[in-house]
A and B are shown apart, each in its own frame.
Chain A
Amino acid sequence: DTAVSQTPKYLVTQMGNDKSIKCEQNLGHDTMYWYKQDSKKFLKIMFSYNNKELIINETVPNRFSPKSPDKAHLNLHINSLELGDSAVYFCASSHSSGGEQFFGPGTRLTVL
C-alpha cells in the first residue's frame, strides 16, 4: 500500500564515505523529487526528474548525483560525505510537474 517509500530510514556514516538512498513510488507518477530538510526544518528542493529526465538541478554540490533507472525509482548517491550533509532527505512524487506532491517517509542521514 505504501505510495512513496525510501530506504534506509536511518543512515549513520563516517565523513568521507559514499552512500546511497533509494526511493520508489507505486502511484504511476511521472515526476519525482529529492528534498533536503536541515536541522532548522527548512525544506529545499535538490533535484527533480520527469520521466527519467532531469528537469530541476538546484545549486547542490556535485558530490550529490541522482539516478532514475525508471519512472518509479529515483535514487540519490552522495560521495565523500561531509558533516554538513547531515539532514533528513525526502523523496516525493507527483503526477506531473506542478502537480500535488506526495512525500516519502524520509531518510535521516547522520555524518560523524
Chain B
Amino acid sequence: GENVEQHPSTLSVQEGDSAVIKCTYSDSASNYFPWYKQELGKRPQLIIDIRSNVGEKKDQRIAVTLNKTAKHFSLHITETQPEDSAVYFCAALDSSYKLIFGSGTRLLVRP
C-alpha cells in the first residue's frame, strides 16, 4: 500500500524567511496530493492541493511542487508570518481512494 514520508518533523524559521516541507510517496498510481494545516486543538484544514497532471501550483505565499518521476512533492511558504505556525501534513490519495497522511511537520515562525 501507499506510504508517505514527511521531513522535517520540526522546522523553526525567522519571520519573513521561507519554509520548505518535503514529502515522498511510494505508490506511482497516487494522483492527488493535498496539504493540510492544523493549528493547536483545531481541525486539519486544506491549504493547497495538486493533482498529478501538473507540476506546480501557487496560491499567494504558498506553493506546491510535484515530481512524479521521483515521487516527491514539496510545500513552500514564502514571507512566513507568526500565524503560519502550526503542524502541516502532506497526504497522497492512493488507488483505493484512501488518503494516506505524512507524519506532520511542526512549523514555528519566530517573530
Interface residues as binary, A94-112 with B (CB distance below 8 Å gives 1, 0 otherwise): 0001101111111000000
**Interface residue from A41, A55, A58 paired with B97 (Cβ < 8 Å):** A55
Return the 3 tightest CB-CB contacts between A and B, nearest first.
Answer: A97-B97, A103-B43, A43-B101
**Which residues of B lie under 8 Å from residue A100 when comparing CB positions?**
34, 46, 49
Docked-complex contact A42 and B104, CB < 8 angstroms: yes
Interface size class of B (residues with CB under 8 A): 20 to 34
**Which residues of A lie under 8 Å from residue B73 when comparing CB positions?**
none
Docked-complex contact A42 and B103, CB < 8 angstroms: yes
Highest count of chain A CB atoms <10 Å: which of B38, B96, B98: B98
Docked-complex contact A103 and B45, CB < 8 angstroms: yes
Interface assignment of B82: CB less than 8 Å from any CB of chain A: no
Give how many A residues have a beta carbon under 8 Å from the other chain's beta carbons: 21
**Which residues of A lie under 8 Å from residue B45 when comparing CB positions?**
103
**Which residues of B lie under 8 Å from residue A44 when comparing CB positions?**
101
Question: What residues of chain B have their CB less than 8 Å away from a CB belonging to chain A?
Answer: 32, 34, 36, 38, 42-46, 49, 87, 89, 93, 96-101, 103-104
Docked-complex contact B97 and A48, CB < 8 angstroms: yes
Docked-complex contact B49 and A41, CB < 8 angstroms: no
Docked-complex contact B98 and A45, CB < 8 angstroms: yes
By beta carbon, the residue of chain B nearest A101 is B99
A selection of 14 A-B contacts at a CB cut-off of 8 Å is: A33-B99, A41-B103, A44-B101, A45-B98, A45-B100, A48-B97, A55-B97, A56-B96, A56-B98, A98-B97, A100-B34, A100-B46, A101-B34, A103-B36
